[in-house]
C-alpha cells in the first residue's frame, strides 16, 4: 500500500510538471500579443460607454473578452496547422512542432470560447455575449475556414471580427450598441487591410507556397501597395469622426491627425517603391500597431481627463464614472503599449 501511494504521488508530480512545461505552448496558441491589442480596444469601448459599471464587473468583462480573443486564436491555429507547418514564420507554433496535438488544441479552444461567452452573458449581459460569440464564429468559421484559402479579400472581410472588440466592450458596459462603437469598429476595419498586407508583402513567397491567396500573391506587389494607400487615406477622415461627433477631445484629434499623416506617408513611400523595398513594408507594419494603440490610448486619455467631453449632446451630462474607471484600469494601457511589438509569427 505504501509503495502504491508513493507511485501515485510521483505520477501526480510528473503529470503536473509536464503540464507546467507545456503551459507556455497553450499560451502561445492564444496569440497573446494580438490578444492584448484586441482587449485594449475593448477596454476603451468599456470605459467610454455611458452609464456606471462596477469595477469588478468591468474586470470580469475584460477577462471574458480576453478569453474569447484567445479562443479565436487557438481555433485559428488548430485549423491552420497544415499551412503553418510550411510557412517559415509559423512553423514554430505549438501544433506544427508537435508539442500540442490537434485534439488538445480543439478542446482547449472550444472550452475557452464557451466559458468566455457564458461568463460574459451571466456577469454582464446577453447582448455583449452574443457579440463575442459572433466575433469568435466570424474569425474562425468565416475568415479562417471559408475566406482565408479562397479569396484575396480574406483580410478585408475577415477584418470585421478583429474590429468588434470595442463594440463588445461598449455593449458590456451599457447593454446597448450605438453610433460611437460603430465608428470605433469602422476605424479598426479600415486599419486591418494595410496592417496585414504590409506584413504579407514580405511573406508573399511563403503564402504562395502554402496556397493562401493573399493579395500580393494573386494581384502582385504593385496592386497591393495601391490598395494599402487607398485604405490608409480612407482611414484618416474616419479616424477623426470621434472628435467631430464629440466623444473624442483635442488629445484624440491631435493624435489622429499626426499619426494619420505618418501612416499615409509610410503608405505612400511603400506605394512609390512598388512594394519591392522590404524595409518600407516592415516600417508600415510596425507603425500600424503603434498607430492603433496610440489612437485608442488618446481616446481613453480624453475621457479620463474630461468625462463631460465624452458624450454626444443627446445624452446629457455624465458623472465622473469614466474617469474613475479609467483610473482603476490604467494597467491595460501600459500593458498594451508594452505588447505593441506584435511578432509576425502571431498574426
Cα end-to-end distance, the chain, whole Å = 52
- Alpha-carbon gap, residue 76 to 73, rounded angstroms: 5
Evaluate if residue 218 carries a pLDDT over 50.
yes
pLDDT of residue 8: 52
> What pLDDT, in 10s, does the model give residues 138-170?
999 999 999 999 999 899 998 999 999 999 999
Evaluate if residue 182 carries a pLDDT over 70.
yes
Whether 127 and 171 have beta carbons less than 8 Å apart is answered as yes
Return the number of other C-beta atoms located less than 10 Å from residue 135's C-beta.
25
Give the least confident one: 25-29, 52-56, 112-116: 52-56
The whole-chain average pLDDT of the chain stands at: 84
Percent of the chain with pLDDT over 70: 82
- Alpha-carbon gap, residue 295 to 324, rounded angstroms: 21
DSSP character at residue 49 = S
Of 299, 335, 305, the residue nearest 66 (C-alpha): 335
Of 139, 146, 145, 130, the residue nearest 163 (C-alpha): 139
Residue holding cell 469595477?
55
- Alpha-carbon gap, residue 307 to 322, rounded angstroms: 6
DSSP character at residue 89 = T
Q: CA dist 3 to 6, 10, 11, 111, 126, Å?
A: 5, 11, 12, 37, 53
Torsion, Cα of 294, 297, 303, 306 (10° steps)? -60
The x, y and z cell numbers of residue 60, run together, are 470580469
> What pLDDT, in 10s, does the model give residues 238-290?
999 999 998 889 999 999 999 999 999 999 999 998 777 789 999 999 999 99
> What pLDDT, in 10s, does the model give residues 318-336?
333 333 343 433 444 444 4
Residue 43: exposure state from Cβ atoms within 10 A (0-12, 13-18, ≥19): buried
Q: What angle do CA 143, 235, 233 make, to 5 degrees?
A: 115
- Alpha-carbon gap, residue 343 to 262, rounded angstroms: 22
- Alpha-carbon gap, residue 69 to 91, rounded angstroms: 22
Quote the pTM value. Answer: 0.84
- Alpha-carbon gap, residue 144 to 136, rounded angstroms: 11
Return the number of other C-beta atoms located less than 10 Å from residue 97's C-beta.
13
pLDDT of residue 15: 52
pLDDT of residue 312: 35
pLDDT of residue 171: 95
Q: Where are the beta strands (DSSP E) in 192-283?
A: none
Amino acid at each position: 500500500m505504501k509503495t502504491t501511494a508513493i507511485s501515485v504521488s510521483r505520477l501526480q508530480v510528473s503529470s503536473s510538471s509536464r503540464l507546467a512545461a507545456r503551459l507556455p505552448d497553450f499560451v502561445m496558441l492564444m496569440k497573446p500579443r494580438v490578444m492584448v491589442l484586441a482587449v485594449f480596444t475593448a477596454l476603451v469601448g468599456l470605459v467610454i460607454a455611458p452609464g456606471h459599471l462596477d469595477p469588478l464587473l468591468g474586470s470580469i468583462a475584460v477577462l471574458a473578452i480576453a478569453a474569447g480573443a484567445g479562443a479565436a486564436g487557438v481555433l485559428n491555429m488548430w485549423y491552420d496547422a497544415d499551412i503553418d507547418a510550411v510557412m517559415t514564420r509559423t512553423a514554430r507554433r505549438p501544433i506544427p512542432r508537435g508539442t500540442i496535438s490537434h485534439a488538445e488544441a480543439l478542446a482547449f479552444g472550444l472550452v475557452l470560447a464557451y466559458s468566455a461567452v457564458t461568463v460574459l452573458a451571466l456577469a454582464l449581459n446577453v447582448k455583449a455575449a452574443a457579440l463575442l460569440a459572433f466575433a469568435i464564429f466570424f474569425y474562425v468559421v468565416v475568415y479562417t475556414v471559408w475566406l482565408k484559402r479562397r479569396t484575396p479579400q480574406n483580410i478585408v472581410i475577415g477584418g470585421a471580427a478583429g474590429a468588434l472588440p470595442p463594440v463588445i466592450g461598449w455593449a458590456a458596459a451599457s447593454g446597448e450598441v450605438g453610433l460611437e462603437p460603430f465608428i470605433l469598429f469602422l476605424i479598426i476595419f479600415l486599419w486591418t487591410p494595410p496592417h496585414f498586407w504590409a506584413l504579407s508583402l514580405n511573406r508573399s513567397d511563403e503564402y504562395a507556397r502554402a496556397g493562401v491567396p493573399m493579395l500580393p500573391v494573386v494581384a502582385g506587389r504593385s496592386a497591393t501597395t495601391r490598395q494599402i494607400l487607398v485604405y490608409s487615406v480612407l482611414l484618416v477622415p474616419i479616424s477623426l469622426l470621434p472628435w467631430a461627433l464629440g466623444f473624442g477631445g483635442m488629445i484624440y484629434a491631435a493624435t489622429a491627425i499626426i499619426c494619420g499623416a505618418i501612416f499615409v506617408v509610410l503608405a505612400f513611400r511603400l506605394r512609390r517603391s512598388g512594394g519591392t523595398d522590404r524595409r518600407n513594408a516592415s516600417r508600415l507594419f510596425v507603425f500600424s500597431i503603434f498607430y492603433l494603440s496610440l489612437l485608442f490610448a488618446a481616446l481613453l486619455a480624453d475621457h479620463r481627463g474630461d468625462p463631460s467631453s465624452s458624450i454626444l449632446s443627446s445624452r446629457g451630462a455624465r458623472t465622473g464614472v469614466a474617469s474613475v474607471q479609467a483610473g482603476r484600469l490604467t494597467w491595460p494601457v501600459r500593458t498594451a503599449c508594452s505588447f505593441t511589438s506584435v511578432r509576425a509569427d502571431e498574426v
